Amino acid sequence: MADPITPVLTKRWLSPKSWTIQSYEALEGYTAVRKALKGTPEQLVQLVKDSGLRGRGGAGFPAGIKWSFMPPNEDKPHYLVINADEGEPGTCKDIPLMMADPHSLIEGCIIASYAMRSHHCFIYVRGEALHCIRRLNAAVREAYDAGYLGIDILKSGFDLDITVHAGAGAYICGEETALLDSLEGRRGQPRLKPPFPAAAGLYAAPTTVNNVETIASAPFIVNGGSDWFRQMGREKSPGPKIYSISGHVEKPGQYECPLGTTLRELLDMAGGMKDGIPLKFWTPGGSSTPMFTAEHLDVPLDFEGAAEAGSMLGTTAVQVFNETVSVPWAVMKWTQFYEHESCGKCTPCREGTYWLAQILERMVDGKGTEEDIDTLLDVCDNILGRSFCALGDGAVSPITSGIKYFRDEFLALCETNKRELVGAEA
Ligand SMILES: Cc1cc2nc3c(=O)[nH]c(=O)nc-3n(C[C@H](O)[C@H](O)[C@H](O)COP(=O)(O)O)c2cc1C
Ligand code: SF4
């Protein structure tokens, strides 16, 4: 059994100048790609399937299966696109990974591109993360100079180019098909599926979109093997995972743990609740995942555990709130974010998020009524499952879960309004 606290993905992060190719190579860097290029693409796809690696961008789709959807022929160019948009509120794992260890992503890109017969890989990075774009560009240059990118990589006959592309900071451009539109130079809006990207993605050619952490896991799987990878985490959610913990904890940051770690354990690592003020609510994987409360401290945070307890693992962006925070206020803030980021393509989300924000703002302002709670739930019901993409579904999570666990707080706001109205009549 692998030691649960021995870091894998983050093992180089604290080394001096960990982002340089010299540090990377000194710490086993670029050994996996040498191994991978000696095998066939099919063997690599099978290895990743056997490892059980699931996508780290939120939905948890098995990576090896996704890779196997790419056609075996090369009639058209094949593309690998790395989703480095990292827009989900609370998520801060991909940018730290690319800052501290950009070559692990680049090595993963070479391995995954070889497995999918792609000769051009794009890394789509959130535009505001200029520091990260600079670091990635420098690392890509180093990799070209060292012969890990370009023509005939390590004399294997395999060619690969990597292009780092800066997005312009729209949350919807993290949705994989909106990202592809944005990469093609269009306004980022989700595409109708099918066709799925593996059939017609970037420039209508076979494409796979994967998250940064998913691809950065590949070199470790090649070196360690699928059985080693499966020793960490849980049966259906194996492997290590970077949990990003923010909010009212003593030591917020990134904590790498096996999938299935609980909030109780994460809080221990993060030094406990800030100033000892008790926990009130938290998100397991960003604001698009229904919130949990102090009752959920022992829920295993893997794909199945979070779902069985009524939420989702999402991006493992654990946002922790103490007793001083008003739930309706936090829910209003998140809803304002979704209203702002709704791309406007479909009516339930475009109109719904607008009205949800209006109602919540009125309630938080002390001017709500009890009927507003029913209206909120009704609007949510008309968005969930009826929107064009998952942004709409995510937008209702804070509201429905907030009302489920803290209805009294929403009611109390209405009560204040009622008292004021009665007072005004008298
Ligand atoms: C509104 C929205 C935003 C998203 N943002 C991101 C993101 O920033 N990074 C990411 O990897 N996936 C994001 N996703 C999920 C992607 O659509 C896609 O599932 C993911 O990139 C696939 O990679 P994976 O299989 O490696 O997880 C987002 C989805 C939606 C609906
Ligand atoms: S759900 Fe929202 S973000 Fe997604 S397509 Fe519809 S309007 Fe755009």
What sign results for the dihedral spanned by CA atoms 94, 97, 99, 103?
A: negative
Average of per-residue pLDDT across 385-408? 98
With a 6 A CB cut-off, is 85 part of the ligand 1 pocket? yes
Burial class (CB in 10 A: 0-12, 13-18, 19+), 196: middle
Q: Domain range spanning residue 408?
A: 327-425
What does the alpha-carbon distance between residue 333 and residue 329 come to, in Å, rounded to a whole number?
6
94/135 same-domain check: yes
Q: Give, using CA atoms, the residue closest to atom 6 of ligand 2.
A: 346
Distance CA(271)–CA(280), nearest Å, equals 17
Greatest pairwise CA separation for the chain in angstroms? 88
Q: Which ligand is nearest to the CA of 81?
A: 1
396 Cβ inside 6 Å of ligand 2: no
Q: Is residue 15 situated within a structural domain? A: no
Q: Is residue 386 part of a domain?
A: yes
ω before 62 within 30° of 0 (cis)? no
User: Does residue 290 line the site of ligand 1, with CB under 6 A?
Assistant: no
Query: Tens of pLDDT along 238-292?
Result: 999 999 999 999 999 999 999 999 999 999 999 999 999 999 999 999 999 999 9
104 Cβ below 6 A of ligand 1: no
Q: Both 101 and 186 in a single domain?
A: yes
Domains held by the chain: number: 3
Residue 421 belongs to some domain of the structure: yes
Mark whether 117 and 140 lie in a shared domain. Answer: yes
pLDDT at 71: 95
Q: What is the pLDDT of residues 79-93, one digit of tens each?
A: 999 999 999 999 999
Distance 176 CA to ligand 1 centre (A): 6
- For residue 414, the model assigns a pLDDT of 87
How far is Cα 338 from Cα 326, in angstroms, rounded to an integer? 19
Mean pLDDT of the chain: 96
Does residue 86 line the site of ligand 1, with CB under 6 A? yes
Quick one: pLDDT at residue 82?
98
* Count of CB atoms situated within 10 Å of the CB of 414: 18
Mean pLDDT throughout 191-206?
A: 97
Let me know whether 129 and 208 are in one domain: yes
The string of pLDDT tens digits covering residues 147-161 is 999 999 999 999 999
393 lines ligand 1 (CB under 6 A): no
Same domain? 208 vs 66: yes
Question: How far apart are the CA of 276 and the centre of ligand 1, in A?
Answer: 35
Residue in 171, 175, 340, 342 to alter for ligand 2 test, most ligand atoms within 8 A of Cβ: 342
- For residue 354, the cross-strand partners are none
The reply to whether 407 and 337 lie within a common domain is: yes
Does any domain span residue 16? no
The pLDDT confidence band at residue 3, using thresholds 50, 70 and 90, is: low
- What per-residue confidence (pLDDT) applies to 1? 45
Give the ligand whose atoms come closest to the C-alpha of residue 344: 2
188 and 56 in a common domain:
yes
Please report, rounded to a whole number, the percentage of residues in the chain having pLDDT higher than 90.
Answer: 94
